[in-house]
Amino acid sequence: MIRTMLCDLLGIKYPIIQGGMAWVATAELAAAVSEAGGLGVIGSGAAPPDWLREQLYKTRSLTKKPFGVNVMLLSPYLEEIMAILLEKPVAVVTTGAGNPGRYVPALRELGTKVIPVVSSVALAKRLTRSGVDAFIAEGMESGGHIGELTTMALLPQVVDAVDLPVIAAGGVYDGRGLVAALALGAVGVQMGTRFMCAAECTIPQKVKNFVIKAKDRDTAVSGVSTGHPVRALRNKLTRKYEEMEKNHAPIAEIEELGVGSLRLAMVEGDIENGTVMAGQVSAMVNKVQPAREIILDIINGAESVIGHLNEQVV
Ligand code: TUI
């Protein structure tokens, strides 16, 4: 049994947080992860407020355990999304793609733990002053919107720079990843890609199969030239990005490619023309499993790794 202070901070059994993936992390997945002893997280992405209200209602009907909501700070509905989270507080709010500073006091006032995802030391340092509860240090192995540093380099730097608990994200798949994160000073992990293939995850089977089929070099980073790098599984759309970026197409034209493309993949199941955001560990995902099985595999794996570490050093 692997427990850390993160378990006490969030009221969960295992130090595992599910990534708040837009269009992927719905009530069904979040509730299943929370029921299994991790922290399930609804990914509100750029979804309208009514969608979030419905997901919150559904999650609360499926679990009485703590769960969270990820707020994507570039959402066109940001103010309305925050208003919902202030009206009916959740245990945890994670944030991505920006600085949540001005929302922190009101959320904390209601007892909501605020955990921003950071991809740089500078942002983590800036945010310590706004009163957040912990950080998720996310390396560029992750799927979706990413920074420049790898988890291996970023995580210990964030751990050294701040006095708050740090959770590792990016490149974590199993017990080995959890133990590695703990060794680098993290108190737990956040995992997205592996939970895409949870049985309870509502994305089309076609998308799950695409992740399962992926090999080590099958993700690509698009949008570096626009300042919004995104990692996704290689397909017709990422090849189009590559072509346009090579030809120095206007930034607006490149950004246009991405509009609506995440929904196209994750809801419509169009794995060629949509953006199938997924991390580098896609290659390790080889089957669909219930969320509970995923979590127990990670925890049992981590225990076994810890047990064998001493024998490994000769
Ligand atoms: O946010 C993510 N991953 C995401 S968000 C997303 S949806 C999206 N929609 C439109 C454009 C881009 C993405 C898909 N995947 N991960 C957490 C994360 N946050 N990674 C990097 C950051 C980040 C980046 C810049 C956080 C803060 C930041 O700058 C803030 C500042 O003020 O300096």
User: Which residues in the chain belong to E strands, given as ranges?
Assistant: 16-18, 40-43, 67-72, 92-96, 113-118, 135-138, 144-145, 166-169, 188-191, 219-222, 230-233
- Tell which atom from ligand 1 comes closest to the C-alpha of 96: 1
Q: Is the pTM of this model over 0.95?
A: yes
**Residue-range domains of the chain with CATH:** 5-202+285-312 (3.20.20.70), 215-277 (no CATH)
Pocket of ligand 1 (CB under 6 A): 22, 45, 72, 74, 96-99, 117-119, 123, 138, 144-147, 228, 277
Confidence of residue 314 (pLDDT cuts 50, 70, 90): confident
Tell me the percentage of the chain whose pLDDT exceeds 70: 100
User: DSSP assignment, residue 226?
Assistant: G
Tell me how many degrees the CA angle 290-22-293 measures, rounded to the nearest 5.
10
CA-nearest residue for atom 29, ligand 1, is 98
For 201-246, write each residue's pLDDT tens digit: 999 999 999 999 999 999 999 999 999 999 999 999 999 999 999 9
Q: pLDDT by residue (tens digit) across 139-154?
A: 999 999 999 999 999 9
**Confidence check: pLDDT of 1 > 90:** no
Name the residue at shortest CA distance from atom 24 of ligand 1: 97
Amino acid sitting at position 306: I
Query: From the alpha carbon of 228, which atom of ligand 1 is closest?
Result: 12
290-311 mean pLDDT: 97
Reference 100, options 140, 134, 50; nearest CA is: 134
- What is the pLDDT of the chain when averaged over all its residues? 97
| SS3 (DSSP) at 134 | coil
User: In testing the pocket of ligand 1, which one of 18, 104, 121, 145 has its CB within 8 Å of the most ligand atoms?
Assistant: 145
